[in-house]
Amino acid sequence: MISVVVPSYNEQEVLPEFFRRLVAVLDGLNYSSEIVFVNDGSTDNTLAAMFQWRETDPRVAVIDLSRNYGKEIAMSAGLDYANGNAVIVIDADLQDPPELIPALIEQWEAGYDNVYAQRTERDGDTVVKKTTAHWFYRLIQRVSNVRIPEDTGDFRLLSRRAVDSINALREHHRFMKGLFSWIGYPSKAVPYRREPRGAGHSKWNYWRLWNFAIEGITSFSILPLKIATYVGLTTAVIAFIYAFLVIYKTLVYGDPVQGFPTLMVVILFLGGVQLMSLGIIGEYLGRMFDETKRRPLYFLNRYLPARNSSEKYGEQSGNMPARNAP
């Protein structure tokens, strides 16, 4: 069986068209299938549409999260509850064409566990976004040991063991691209053309992208901490040399009180370096704070399994913790 996980947040404009195209693709497969819709706290009619489709199509399962948690967690909830032998993660906004699914399945049949869709071109994106994205991938490859393939989003197929591996990683700061690579297993790229959004609007902007980049780096590398150490060391060495110079000058030429500019520069420089290092430590400390609380990743408002499934959990509601919570 193939499961398709669809995280959706306020997607009422595109969801009907998406569902129509997805169903058309699934009907043509030689596998039974399941569509796991995850409603990530939408405030429009997204959830109502999902419930309605579940009545008419026995393959539809609905997970209704207790609030908006963000795409990473919505996706993780879907992966937790997906029952398929292979699970496909796809955006609801039609930027990931459902028609690519047979090509993903083909590679899975060929033995790959992690079949990711790779964009051949990024039509909708500006030059600035393209170059910053490119540099981000180079950087993260440099600073961490995970190799994150470039121009790859979350659109992919995961084998059952890959899904189980992802589900075993319960961290709160979920940099999914990194996690998908971190679990390893044979991986394969399938090229595709990424369409502009069908309707509605993206929830991304540059501030969020910046934070996304920080998230990626701090989740997979402690290099910034090391940099802080070495910047500190270098500053200390320079400070020592300079101290000797000052003492020497004072001893040899006397001390005609001078050097206010030098003093200011030194104080400001040292202050800057210290605050920056503190900030870097703070980034990591904040993340440790979040992780050490060990809260469940999400709570469910309701879970309705697909009507054709032999789901052992059955229909549930209330504030259930994640199925795979340790």
Of residues 203 and 249, the one with the C-beta less far from ligand UDP: 203
Angle CA 276–277–279, to nearest 5: 65
Of residues 198 and 296, the one with the C-beta less far from ligand UDP: 198
Q: Return the residue of 76, 95, 219, 324 that touches Mg ion, per CB under 5 A.
A: 95
The answer to whether residue 219 forms part of the interface with Mg ion (CB under 5 A) is no
Report which of 108, 112, 176 is spatially closest to residue 146, judged by C-alpha positions: 176
Which partner from the list Mg ion, ligand UDP, none does 8 bind, CB cut-off 5 to 8 Å by kind? ligand UDP
Report which of 88, 76, 84 is spatially closest to residue 323, judged by C-alpha positions: 76
Report which of 125, 124, 234, 219 is spatially closest to residue 175, judged by C-alpha positions: 219
Q: From the CB of 5, what's the least distance to Mg ion, in Å?
A: 15
Dist. CA 35–CA 20, nearest whole Å: 12
Q: From the CB of 125, what's the least distance to ligand UDP, in Å?
A: 10
Strand-pair category, 114-119 with 187-192? parallel
For 196, other C-beta atoms within 10 Å of its C-beta total 12
Q: From the CB of 91, what's the least distance to Mg ion, in Å?
A: 5
Of residues 70 and 296, the one with the C-beta less far from ligand UDP: 70
Burial class (CB in 10 A: 0-12, 13-18, 19+), 60: buried
Phi, psi angles (nearest 5°) of residue 216 = -60, -45
Q: From the CB of 99, what's the least distance to ligand UDP, in Å?
A: 17
By CB under 6 A, name the binding residues for ligand UDP: 7-9, 11, 40, 68, 70-71, 74, 91-93, 95, 202-204
The answer to whether residue 8 forms part of the interface with Mg ion (CB under 5 A) is no
Angle CA 180–185–191, to nearest 5: 65
Q: From the CB of 98, what's the least distance to ligand UDP, in Å?
A: 12
Of residues 126 and 310, the one with the C-beta less far from ligand UDP: 126
Of residues 93 and 113, the one with the C-beta less far from ligand UDP: 93
Which partner from the list Mg ion, ligand UDP, none does 119 bind, CB cut-off 5 to 8 Å by kind? none
Q: From the CB of 42, what's the least distance to ligand UDP, in Å?
A: 8
Distances (CA, A) of 203 to 22, 71, 293: 23, 10, 28
Of residues 124 and 272, the one with the C-beta less far from Mg ion: 124
The answer to whether residue 10 forms part of the interface with Mg ion (CB under 5 A) is no
Of residues 95 and 165, the one with the C-beta less far from Mg ion: 95
Dist. CA 102–CA 129, nearest whole Å: 30
Query: Which two tokens mark 265?
Result: 């520069």
Of residues 8 and 181, the one with the C-beta less far from ligand UDP: 8
Residues near 169 by beta carbon (within 8 Å), at least 6 away in sequence = 179, 182, 183
Q: From the CB of 155, what's the least distance to ligand UDP, in Å?
A: 10
Q: From the CB of 93, what's the least distance to Mg ion, in Å?
A: 4
Q: How many residues bind Mg ion (CB under 5 A)?
A: 2
Which partner from the list Mg ion, ligand UDP, none does 175 bind, CB cut-off 5 to 8 Å by kind? none
Which partner from the list ligand UDP, Mg ion, none does 307 bind, CB cut-off 5 to 8 Å by kind? none
Number of helices (H), then strands (E), in the chain: 10, 9
Query: Which two tokens mark 203?
Result: 């929830």
Stretch that binds Mg ion, among 16-24, 92-100, 134-142, 208-216 (CB under 5 A): 92-100
Q: Crossing angle, helix 15-27 and helix 46-56, to 10 degrees? A: 30
Note whether 302 and 62 are within 8 A (CB). Answer: yes
Q: What is the contact surface with Mg ion in residues (CB under 5 A)?
A: 93, 95
